[in-house]
Copies of this chain bind each other. A is one copy, B any other.
Amino acid sequence: MADFKIPGITVYRLGLYVRALERFLAEGRELISSEELARECGVNSAQLRKDLSYFGQFGVRGVGYSVPQLLKHIRRILGTDREWHMILAGVGHLGQALLNYELLAKRGFKFVAAFDIDEKKIGRVVNDVYVYSLEQLPYVLREHQVDIGVITTPASAAQEVADRFIEVGIKGILNFAPVRIQHPPDVVVEHSDITILFDKLAFYVHRLD
Contact = CB atoms under 8 A, between A and B. Distances in A.
Interface of A: 1-4, 6-9, 11-16, 18-19, 23, 42-44, 47, 77-80, 84, 92-94, 96-98, 100-101, 103-104, 107, 109, 147-148, 171-174, 178, 180, 186, 188, 190, 192-208
A55 B171 CA distance: 40
Given A44-B7, A79-B203, A103-B178, A84 B208 contact: no
Contacts of A107: 195, 198-199
A19 B196 contact: yes
A92 to B, nearest CB: 7
13 contacts: A3-B207, A9-B9, A9-B43, A11-B200, A14-B199, A93-B93, A93-B96, A93-B100, A103-B195, A104-B198, A186-B208, A188-B208, A192-B197
Contacts of A202: 78-80, 84, 109, 147-148, 172
- What copy number does this chain have within its complex? 2
Contact of A92 (B12, B97, B186): B97
B207 A2 contact: yes
A150 B55 CA distance: 37
Contact of A94 (B12, B23, B93): B93
Contacts of A195: 15, 101, 103-104, 107, 109
